[in-house]
Structure 1
Amino acid sequence: MTRVKICGLRCAVLAEQACEAGADAIGLVFYPHSSRAVSASQALDVIKGTQALVTSVGLFVDPQADEVERILEICPLDCLQFHGTESAAFCEQFGRPYIKAISMRPEIDIDALLQEHQGARALLFDAWRPDAPGGTGDTFAWERIPVLSRPWILAGGLTPDNVGTAIEQVAPQAVDVSGGVENASGEKDPRRMRQFIDAVREADRRKHEDAAV
C-alpha cells in the first residue's frame, strides 16, 4: 500500500481528522517563512491529536543544529525531513531517522545526492521553484525520477485529482501532500484530505487488481 503523509498541519483537530481519514504520517513545518510554520509548542499540541503508530515528521530548511535540538527537546518527533542543502553529516547528528528532500532543479545531480545520503530513511522528490524550497503546489516531470531500490516519496503539486495517475505511472512507496488538500494557503480542508487518501487507496486497489491478472 502507498503510504500517505499530510504535511503542514497546524492544529490538533485537523491532525486527528487526517489520521481518521487514513494518513500514515503528519508533517510539521519548522521553516519560519512558510505560511504553514509552527512553533515547537504548537507542534506538540498537533502530535497529541495523532493516533498511535502515525509518524510525526518535522520539516526543516537549512536550520542551525541548536535550533533542531531545541525543538526536539520540546517536541518528540519521530522523523526529520530536510529540504535545504544539508549535508548527510548534518542530517545524521540528531539521533532520528531522516528524509532528504530533492528539489528537481534542471541541473540537479541526483546520483550525487543519492550517494551522499545513503543513510536517509527515504528520499523525497519535490518540484523546484527558485523562490521557495517546497510547498509550491507545482508538479514536475515524474519521469525524471530514477529507478530506485530504496524507499522514496513523491511530492510536488499532488491533489485528489492527480495522485492516482502518479501512483499508476511511477509507483512511489509514499506520497506527500500539503497545498493539494487546502482550501486556502496553510488551511487544511478535512474533505480534501479524505478525498486525497481515498484516491490513493483506489489507485492501490487498481494496481493490485492489475498485478493479479
Structure 2
Amino acid sequence: MTRIKICGITRQEDAQAAVDAGADAIGFVFYAPSPRAIAIDRAWDIVRGLPPFVSSVGLFVNAEPDWVREVLATVPLDLLQFHGDETPDYCSQFGRPWMKAIRVRSSNDIERAFSVFAEARGLLVDAFDPALYGGTGRAFDWSLIPRQRPLPLVLAGGLDSVNVADAIRQVRPWAVDVSGGVESAKGIKSAEKIRAFINEVRSVGKTD
C-alpha cells in the first residue's frame, strides 16, 4: 500500500481533513520564504491533536541548526525532511529520523543521492527548479527513477488526483507527497481535493 503525506499544512481544519481522509503523515514547512510556512506555536497546536499512527513531518531548507533545535524543543516531530543542500552529517545531528529530498535533473542525481544519503530513512524525489527548493507544482520525467532502490522512495512534484494513480503504477513508490495539488489557494487545503487524491492512491492495487 502506497503511503500518503499531505504537506504544507497551515490550519487545524486542513490537518483534520487529511486525517479523516486517511493520510499517513502530515507535513509542516519551517521555511520562512514558503507561502506554506507555519509558526512553531501553530504547528504545536496541530501536532498535539493528531491521532496515533499519523506521523508529523517537519520540512527545513538549509536551516541554521539552532532553528531546527528550536522547532524540535516545542514540536514533537516524528521525522525531519531536508529539502535544501544539506550534507549527511548535517541531517544526522538532530537525533531524529530524517529523509532527504532531491531535485531531479537526471537519473544520476538519484543514484548519487542513494549512495550519499544512505543513512536516511528515505529519499524524496521532486522536480528541479533553480530558484525553488520544492513546491514547484510541476512533475518531472518519472522514467528517470531507477527500479533498484536501496532506500524507500517518496514521489513528489506536481501530483494531484488526476495523475497520482498513473504515477504510482509507473513508479511504484513507497509513498507519495502532495501539497499544491490538494489546495484551493497556496497554504489552504481543500478537503474535497484531499479526499479525491487519497481515493485515487488507494484505488491502485484494487484493480491493478
- TM-score of Structure 1 vs Structure 2, range by shorter chain: over 0.9
1-structure distance, mates of 2:189, 2:120: 28
1-structure distance, mates of 2:132, 2:37: 14
**Alignment match, 2:95:** 95
Letter in 2 for 1:57: V
2-structure distance, mates of 1:90, 1:72: 15
Aligned pair 1:153/2:154, yes or no? yes
1-structure distance, mates of 2:17, 2:178: 15
SS in 1 for 2:157: coil
Deviations 1:104-135 (A, max 9, x none): 13596333221111110000000111121111
2-structure distance, mates of 1:125, 1:96: 21
**Alignment match, 1:192:** 193
Superposition pairs of residues 27-42 of structure 1, within 5 angstroms? 27-42=27-42
Instruction: Indicate conservation of the 8 Å contact 1:25/1:57, yes or no.
Output: yes
Instruction: Indicate conservation of the 8 Å contact 1:12/1:48, yes or no.
Output: no
Letter in 2 for 1:193: I
Letter in 2 for 1:14: D
Superposition pairs of residues 6-155 of structure 1, within 5 angstroms? 6-106=6-106, 109-147=109-147, 148-155=149-156
What is the CA distance between 1:2 and its match in structure 2?
A: 0.3
Letter in 1 for 2:172: A
Instruction: Indicate conservation of the 8 Å contact 1:2/1:204, yes or no.
Output: no
Letter in 2 for 1:53: F
2-structure distance, mates of 1:107, 1:161: 25
Superposition pairs of residues 142-181 of structure 1, within 5 angstroms? 142-147=142-147, 148-181=149-182
What is the aligned-residue RMSD (CA, Å)?
Answer: 1.2
SS in 2 for 1:124: strand
What is the CA distance between 1:45 and its match in structure 2?
A: 1.2
Letter in 2 for 1:140: F
TM-score by length of 2: 0.96
- Equivalent pairs: percent with the same residue? 49
Letter in 1 for 2:164: V
Give 5+ residue unaligned stretches, structure 2. none
2-structure distance, mates of 1:66, 1:172: 33
Letter in 2 for 1:85: D
Moved more, 155-164 or 122-131: 122-131
